[in-house]
Amino acid sequence: ETFRAIAPGRVNLIGDHTDYTGGLVFPMAIDRSTVIEFAESDAMSLVSADVEGDEWLRYVEAVHRLVSGSRSVSGRVSTTIPIGAGLSSSAALEVAAALALGFRGSAVELAQLCREAEHDATGVPCGIMDQLCIAAGRAGHATLIDCRSLEVTYAPVPDSVKVVVRFVASRTLEGSEYATRVAECAAAEAIVGPLRDVALRDLAAIDDVRVRRRAVHVVSENARVRSFAGALSSYDFGLAGEIMLEGHRSLAENFEVSTAEMDRAVRELAETPGVYGARMTGGGFGGCVVALCDPEARVDGWVVAASDGARVESLSA
């Protein structure tokens, strides 16, 4: 009997570098996915024509070690998620692999296991946003995720806007300054307590200017997530777009994870007729920018639709 495990990519509309301090994020699962067609087997054997080399196997192996009583499968992996674009190709692979290997549990448990696998495979201390959005996605909706309680609230993405993703430059979490940012946020929290719970005025207690700027980003970004969700639900796309641009400025200036290339792409998009706003999305240092647009706007990039989360389907008639 053959099956198909499907896990979508994701794009984060607002709320970057907030997940690993238990903050708020607002991503959506997208209509590009990683698919593992598989059957149970005596030995583990997965091949892929879409992904070069065998680096991707370490993610599968990390998941295999963590899925309790995992089965061996043979099959093939295909993907329509661009690798290195900041659309969570690795998290999608982890989630699809866990389902193929027989994981049983809730979306939150699935996300927690796959986040641990990513830590094991890469050494990068990522948050849980990517895996949870992918596990819990819903067609037509973005997911407002509280990364402390792991509560997911679904927010409709109106038909009267389109979401466009433009690829700027390949990125890699490893070797980037991602882990440094995690450490800087931890340093801020050691002084003022959880960034989720403090106000901007409390950050004056942080003497180190760089650490304080990192904290300013996180505290203001959590507020932007709430404001953006409100603007989207009240169809105030102009305000939603302004909040995206403000978030990008903070990622560039306070958090210093943008690049000149990404700043330029955001500026170009923001000046395009019919574009409400744009920002870099994901960890930074390359990747994609995301724009909120009028459906009639003429914009280069991938138009993505909010899609269902990960699932397994039987292929046997």
Cβ-Cβ contacts under 8 Å for 26 (sequence gap 6 or more): 12, 13, 14, 15, 142, 143, 144, 145, 155, 225, 228, 229
Strands 73-79, 45-48: pairing is: parallel
Q: Residue 262 and residue 252: Cα distance in Å, rounded?
A: 9
Structure tokens at 117: 């696998």
For residue 109, CA distances in Å to 73, 181, 259 come to 22, 26, 35
Q: Residue 139 and residue 75: Cα distance in Å, rounded?
A: 27
8 Å CB contact between 110 and 310? yes
Q: Which residue in the list 19, 31, 130, 300 is annotated as catalytic?
A: 130
197 is catalytic: no
Structure tokens at 116: 């641990």
Q: Residue 278 and residue 247: Cα distance in Å, rounded?
A: 9
Q: Residue 164 and residue 294: Cα distance in Å, rounded?
A: 10
User: Which sequence positions are flagged as catalytic?
Assistant: 130
